[in-house]
Amino acid sequence: MRIIIFANGNLPNLEKARGLIRPDDVILCADGGTRHAIALGLTPNVIIGDMDSLPENFQPSTFNGEFVLFPKDKNETDLELAIDHALTFNPNQILILAALGGRMDQTLANIALLSHASLITRHLKITDGVEEIFFCRDQVQIEGRSGDIVSLIPWQGEVTGVFTENLRWHLHHETLYPDKTRGISNEMTADVAAVSITSGLLLITHITGY
């Protein structure tokens, strides 16, 4: 099972986002993220949150899916609640769309959610068809095309033993530091690149539509 979660951030290219959706995906919307599903002609399976930012053209009376309602005064964002709910399905993969752009605090918080220890064994990423963001805790492959921009950003501290394949500037068992920018703006030299690390947590951004 694969779950698509629509957050309430920006979705810069609807057609590229549409290309990510499969017919058998389960669609979850974090409150205002419902607007993106509607724009793509999708019917959510579940809408989660305090329902304070549903789009004006959404008619709850015609919705046949599930509402998971939370109070406005809560400790979690709607996206965090949506991720927690998605995990109850025990999915193989979770893609989070429209989690970037808009308010910087929300964007940073959305990225930070991916680093939670409970998600170590999950295939989870933020993506919108133009840019994708995910974490490497051991080794990962990056699928794209030659010339795509890939940045490697240490998260929560230094990352050791960074080894890359099919990136223009090769890293050979090196250390990346959170207060340095060495891992920014590398380039893929093939359709698939690989990154492995020895220790730490490495944030990877891949710009697919550069």
pLDDT, tens digit (0-9, with 9 covering 90-100), for 63-78 = 888 889 888 888 899 9
Residue 210, pLDDT > 70, answer no
**DSSP reduced 3-state for 160:** strand
Helix residue ranges, H only, 20-170: 34-39, 78-87, 104-113
Number of domains in the chain: 2
Q: Is the dihedral of CA 12, 14, 17, 19 positive or negative?
A: negative
Residue 27 sits in the same domain as residue 106: yes
**DSSP reduced 3-state for 96:** strand
pLDDT of residue 209: 59
Task: Answer yes or no: are the C-beta atoms of 53 and 31 closer than 8 Å.
Answer: yes
CATH code at position 156 = 2.60.120.320
Domain end (from 100, 129, 158): 129
Whole-angstrom Cα distance, residue 112 to residue 87? 17
- Amino acid found at 15: E
Residue 144 sits in the same domain as residue 162: yes
Whole-angstrom Cα distance, residue 66 to residue 39? 19
How many distinct helices (H) and strands (E) make up the chain? 4, 14
Domain end (from 70, 103, 129): 129
Q: What is the mean pLDDT of the chain?
A: 92
Residue 103 to residues 10, 139, 204, Cα–Cα distance (Å): 10, 31, 21
Whole-angstrom Cα distance, residue 32 to residue 47? 9
Residue 142 sits in the same domain as residue 176: yes
| Each residue's pLDDT tens digit, 90-110 | 998 999 999 998 789 999 999
Residue 58 sits in the same domain as residue 125: yes
Residue 105 sits in the same domain as residue 147: no
Domain end (from 110, 129, 148): 129
CATH code at position 44 = 3.40.50.10240
**DSSP reduced 3-state for 145:** coil
List strands edge to edge, sheet with 2-6.
Answer: 66-69, 46-49, 26-30, 2-6, 93-97, 123-127, 131-136, 202-207, 149-154, 186-187
Residue 25 sits in the same domain as residue 118: yes
pLDDT of residue 38: 92
Q: For residue 119, what are the contacts with CB-CB under 8 A and spacing of at least 6? A: 83
In the chain, what percentage of residues exceed pLDDT 70?
A: 98
Residue 86 sits in the same domain as residue 175: no
What mean pLDDT do residues 160-180 have? 97
Helix residue ranges, H only, the chain: 14-18, 34-39, 78-87, 104-113
Residue 35 sits in the same domain as residue 85: yes
State the residue range of the domain holding 47: 2-129
Lowest mean pLDDT among 7-11, 169-173, 206-210: 206-210
Task: Answer yes or no: are the C-beta atoms of 173 and 163 closer than 8 Å.
Answer: yes
